[in-house]
Structure 1
Amino acid sequence: MFDLVKAWYKNKFSDPHSVTLLLLLIASVAVLYFFGPFVVPVLVALVIAYLLDWPVTRLQCLVPNRVLATTLVILLFVGLCLAMLLGIVPVLWHQLSNLLQESPHMIEQGKAFLLHLPQDYPALISEEQVRTLVTSVESKAFELGQMLVSVSLTSLKDAVAWLIYLILVPLLVFFMLKDKVVLMRGIESLIPRERRLISQVWSEMDHQIMNYIRGKVFEIGIVGGASFIAFSILDLRYSALLGALVGLSVLIPFVGAALVTIPVAAVAMFQFGVEAQFWTVIIVYGIIQALDGNVLVPLLFSEAVDLNPVYIIVAVLFFGGLWGFWGVFFAIPLASLVKALANAWSNKREAPESKEEKGTI
């Protein structure tokens, strides 16, 4: 067994390029794991910079220099964010407060519906099973309420930090976009010369990450907007809030759609009961999710999501448990990174020096 491990190690890591890639990977993971909370503004700025790099590059063809292009794009982006903050957030907050006020009544109505199930379907479910289920749901609802209260108190304490982030992040984005070439050269100067595999992995991942972030923003807007329009046409209450939840659910592949089904079905049942309108809402919601998974995702992520769904779910669970929200958000690119690393270490490529030597013989 030891000989097998030794042979595998010599085969994979005898090349200095492989060792450089491994050391860089270990250092990056260590920084994110131990100093993750401190680099959150940098991660947010990186995501926004990747999102805005494409319009800056296109606008640079029309304006004299990159500084002016970056300034115009940043101002447009900040303006759109302020418009959303002033126009959409108050509506969502109003609907959320109304939903929280009506949630006790909704829970009682759901409890009454469950308690009547043994009378309607005595052969399928017993009163003891229903009471056990009701007790479990009540305890979970109580735990969720406590968690929301604790989160709100924590968010009050972090208000100052959020205000600082609102100033730091736009500045970081501006300088990342304006000085992109200078920053890239500085990073290259810190990496050893044995970086053939690093360049291979980076060239494979850079375009994928940019497409993934841009595609994810488009997916959130399209799915959330379509859900809001559909819920409004069906006269479903809290349509803006539920549409926003459905749009944000795409951040968690596969799992998010299943989780958001619960509030959509609960509001529809509370409003319409188990009638034709309730099933219409569920069917329309299912159609939106099916179109998202089978049409929209292949169009937006044709390059970034060349992965088996099993690998994506495992990546969501693993990286989400490791890095929280950012692990979930970047689960697909991180899974693609693991795949790129495996390809880099498994495919033996001749070093440039050896190719030159062969050409001189």
Structure 2
Amino acid sequence: MTEKNPNSFLNFVAALFLMGFLVFVLIELQSILLPLFIALIISLVFMPLYRFLNSKKIPSALSIVIIILIIILVSNVASIFIFTSMNSFSSEFPKYEQKVIYIFDNITKTLNISESEIQTFSNNFNIKSMLADGKLTATITNIFSGVTSLMGNYILILFYIIFILSEANSIKLRISRAFSEEKKITVTKTLNDIFKGVKDYISGKTLLSLSQAIVIGLILWICGVDFYFIWAFLFFITDFIPNVGSLIASVMVAIVMYLQFDNFMTPTIILVVLIVIQNLKGNIIEPKIFGAKLDLSPLLLLFSLIFWGYVWGIMGMILSVPIMSMIKITFMNIPATKPIAILMSNNADNIK
């Protein structure tokens, strides 16, 4: 027993160094790896369309061109709406900053807070200066930077997609020639499971998030809430961030509503309706659609959210679920790592 201890310690140290090295590589090569992961996931989503076009005797090159044109059209239309709304947001939001300053002054007068106490508080948490300098507007605007920064990698992502799709037709032939019959079955099953798992998650999640965003946008528009399109888009994007995404969007829209409306009841009712919609989707509709397909531990999702957020920022948070799903599926199909996949699962009874 004692003879194994040195080896066990060395293995543990080696594993720590390996993990640290991987984190270092992920951070340092973010500009290359993040667009690659995004392109891979987009390619998996469009793979059924690519195969459908191929089945209709459309050449692979033309099929790829059609898919790229669809991606460019959708992304450009979305970008126009986003940037137009953000310009409106940036120009109109300072009036809310002034209102916050006005409210802050009224609170200090009502509570009879002395100038010295205000000064002490301001030194520790300089709200008034932050608002007066326009920093609150900049902070809220920067929340979208994780998404809009993708425009800088736009061409690179498109190139990745072209190469991934162009390789799709030949991958099966290369697998059959590279591996023995037994390993070929395992590799093919792993790739098929990853493809189906990511495709089902992305397509289902996108449809649900888009439906929720449209409903929320309509409600906010009917109720006369400012920047309703931005909030709808924010709910759509943050819904891909597990656990905290919808909370972030709800808090932000609540702040603006309470500043916009002169009464307390109207924004409260709207906020309650939004929370009900999110809970219906998250606790009833979403589990029925995904069922046990995702089956990732909530604690694992929380840690993966923190980890990928640290490594790749906002986009890392959005990609955390697909990445962990791909890792779990891969581990499930390798006997040596199957115990890790079981630990990653939320319900071990679903694992065969």
Could you tell me the percent identity over the aligned residues?
18
2:170 alignment partner, one of 151, 161, 182: 182
Counterpart for residue 45 of structure 2 = 51
Q: Which amino acid counterpart does residue 278 of structure 2 have in structure 1?
A: Q
2:97 alignment partner, one of 84, 98, 104: 104
Counterpart for residue 14 of structure 1 = none
Q: Which amino acid counterpart does residue 88 of structure 2 have in structure 1?
A: Q
- Change in Cα spacing, 1:302 to 1:138, as seen in structure 2 (3 Å) is farther
Q: Secondary structure at the match of 2:169?
A: helix
Q: Which amino acid counterpart does residue 278 of structure 1 have in structure 2?
A: P
Counterpart for residue 79 of structure 2 = 85
Deviation string, structure 1 residues 189-237 (Cα, Å, up to 9, x no partner): 8899996876665454332222223233323422222211110011111
In the alignment, structure 1 segments of 5+ residues that lack a partner are 10-23, 120-127, 349-361
Deviation string, structure 1 residues 253-309 (Cα, Å, up to 9, x no partner): 121222222221111111213422111211121122112312343245335531232
- Change in Cα spacing, 1:273 to 1:2, as seen in structure 2 (3 Å) is farther
2:336 alignment partner, one of 326, 345, 349: 345
Deviation at 1:136, TM superposition (A): 5.7
> Quick check: 1:249 aligned with 2:238?
yes
Question: Which structure 2 residues correspond to residues 267-306 of structure 1 after superposition, within 5 A?
Answer: 267-306=256-295
Counterpart for residue 318 of structure 1 = 307
Would the aligned equivalents of 2:90 and 2:137 in 1 still touch at CA under 8 Å?
no
Counterpart for residue 67 of structure 2 = 73
Q: Which amino acid counterpart does residue 173 of structure 1 have in structure 2?
A: I
Counterpart for residue 215 of structure 2 = 226
- Change in Cα spacing, 1:246 to 1:110, as seen in structure 2 (3 Å) is farther
Would the aligned equivalents of 2:41 and 2:198 in 1 still touch at CA under 8 Å?
no
TM-score normalised by structure 1 residue count: 0.70
Q: Which amino acid counterpart does residue 177 of structure 1 have in structure 2?
A: L
Counterpart for residue 20 of structure 1 = none
Deviation at 1:173, TM superposition (A): 1.6
Q: Which amino acid counterpart does residue 85 of structure 1 have in structure 2?
A: S
Q: Secondary structure at the match of 1:330?
A: helix
Would the aligned equivalents of 2:238 and 2:318 in 1 still touch at CA under 8 Å?
no
Counterpart for residue 158 of structure 2 = 170
> Quick check: 1:135 aligned with 2:129?
no
Measured in 1, the distance between the counterparts of 2:111 and 2:175 equals: 67
Would the aligned equivalents of 1:109 and 1:270 in 2 still touch at CA under 8 Å?
no
Deviation at 1:320, TM superposition (A): 1.7
Number of paired residues?
A: 322
In the alignment, structure 2 segments of 5+ residues that lack a partner are 10-17, 340-352
- Change in Cα spacing, 1:194 to 1:32, as seen in structure 2 (3 Å) is farther
Would the aligned equivalents of 2:34 and 2:312 in 1 still touch at CA under 8 Å?
no
Question: Which structure 2 residues correspond to residues 11-22 of structure 1 after superposition, within 5 A?
Answer: none
Counterpart for residue 332 of structure 1 = 321
Q: Which amino acid counterpart does residue 29 of structure 2 have in structure 1?
A: F
1:260 alignment partner, one of 223, 230, 249: 249
Deviation at 1:98, TM superposition (A): 3.0
- Change in Cα spacing, 1:150 to 1:316, as seen in structure 2 (3 Å) is closer
TM-score normalised by structure 2 residue count: 0.71
Q: Which amino acid counterpart does residue 324 of structure 1 have in structure 2?
A: G
Deviation at 1:149, TM superposition (A): 9.6
Q: Which amino acid counterpart does residue 71 of structure 1 have in structure 2?
A: V
Would the aligned equivalents of 1:176 and 1:183 in 2 still touch at CA under 8 Å?
no
Deviation string, structure 1 residues 100-150 (Cα, Å, up to 9, x no partner): 32242132144246547858xxxxxxxx79x84993645776776676899
Higher deviation after alignment, 312-321 or 60-69: 60-69
